[in-house]
Every structure is written in C-alpha cells, then in structure tokens.
Amino acid sequence: QIPMEFHDCIKLSPLILDELGEGVLNDAHAQKTVLDIEKWGDKVDWHAPVESTEMKAMLNWNLRTVTHADTLWSFTGIFCVEWNSYLELRAGLLALRKRGIPDSKMEVLVQHGDGDPYDQDQHALLVRQELGRRILTPEDAATVYTGIAYHQGLYHAFFEGEFAKLRKNVESA
C-alpha cells in the first residue's frame, strides 16, 4: 500500500528521482558524495556503525517518512532535513571556495549548496510548498512548529557533541 495519495507521490517524485540519480548510480546523490571524497584520496565505508546523534535523527525521520509519509509531522521532518542540508552544504561550499578549492573537487557541494535562497535542485522549496498546502488549521501550524523545534534540537545536540569532542582533542594535543 502506498503511504501517500497518488497525487502527493507525483508531486514529490522529482525529489526522489534526483536523490536516486534517475537510476544511474553515479548520479545518485549519495554516490556523488562518495566520488567527491575519493577525489581527495579517501574511501567511504558504507558499513560504518551509526553512532552520531545526527545519523540517528536522520534514520528516525527517514523511518517515519517511509511509514507515515502522508502525515504533516513527516512532511515537516523532510523539510527540515532538506533545509539543514542546504544550509550546511552552502556554508561548506563558500568556505572551500574562499580557500581556492576548485568546484571540480566538490561537485556535490556545488549542486546542493549553490543558489539562493534554495539549492539548484530546490528540494527544500518543493517540500516547503507541499508542507504549506497541508497547514489548514491552528493545530496543523502547531504540529509544524513542534516538528521544526524537535528536529532543530536534534541538530543542535549533534553539533554540541561534536564541538565538545573537538575541544577535547585540541586540549589533549
């Protein structure tokens, strides 16, 4: 059983097709990230343990999205993931460009961090528009605000933990 109405699936299909590279492995967004990492001489371990708060949050939201994709809560989660990704990747892209790193070494960042106020794929815009269409009552608005606050709280917890580890490493060096 499809968890969303047919028309909802059609509206969100561009996002899914983009993420999956329209069936071409090297065009899938996760694989593009791998290719960029390999350009720098490193490897990606697809079987690394999932330990970080951010990854647990992402898996949590992805699971909710798959199982309850028609809910306002899940749409809020999808939007937060896309929006945070855009902001983080844009910051990384601009910082690396300032250091003279060529765009050819960071194609994923160019694709996902270039553009204003949304990235080239405009995934966050697409989800925001669909999210907006579902806010019909004050209770719906409260659900969206609660979802955004919850998701942002997960991101902040992740970064606080990562900065604490970084401080510890610097102090012990």
CATH number of the structural domain spanning residue 165: 1.20.910.10
Q: How far apart are CA 77 and CA 128, in angstroms?
A: 11
Residue whose entry in the numeric block shows the structure tokens 């694709």: 111
Instruction: Dump pLDDT digits (tens) for 137-150.
Output: 999 999 999 988 88
SS3 71: coil
C-alpha angle 159-66-123 in degrees, rounded to nearest 5: 60
Residue with more model confidence, 64 or 15: 15
Number of domains in the chain: 1
Residue with more model confidence, 10 or 78: 78
Which residues span the domain enclosing 138?
A: 6-172
Average pLDDT, the chain: 77
Instruction: Dump pLDDT digits (tens) for 114-126.
Output: 888 777 778 888 8
Does the pLDDT value for residue 95 go beyond 50?
Answer: yes
Would residue 1 count as lying in a domain?
Answer: no
Would residue 17 count as lying in a domain?
Answer: yes
Would residue 50 count as lying in a domain?
Answer: yes
The CA radius of gyration of the chain, in Å to the nearest whole number, is 18
Does the pLDDT value for residue 98 go beyond 90?
Answer: yes
- Which pLDDT belongs to residue 8? 65
Would residue 144 count as lying in a domain?
Answer: yes
Q: How far apart are the two ends of the chain, measured CA to CA in Å?
A: 55
Rounded to two decimals, the pTM is: 0.62
- Which pLDDT belongs to residue 6? 62
- Which pLDDT belongs to residue 18? 76
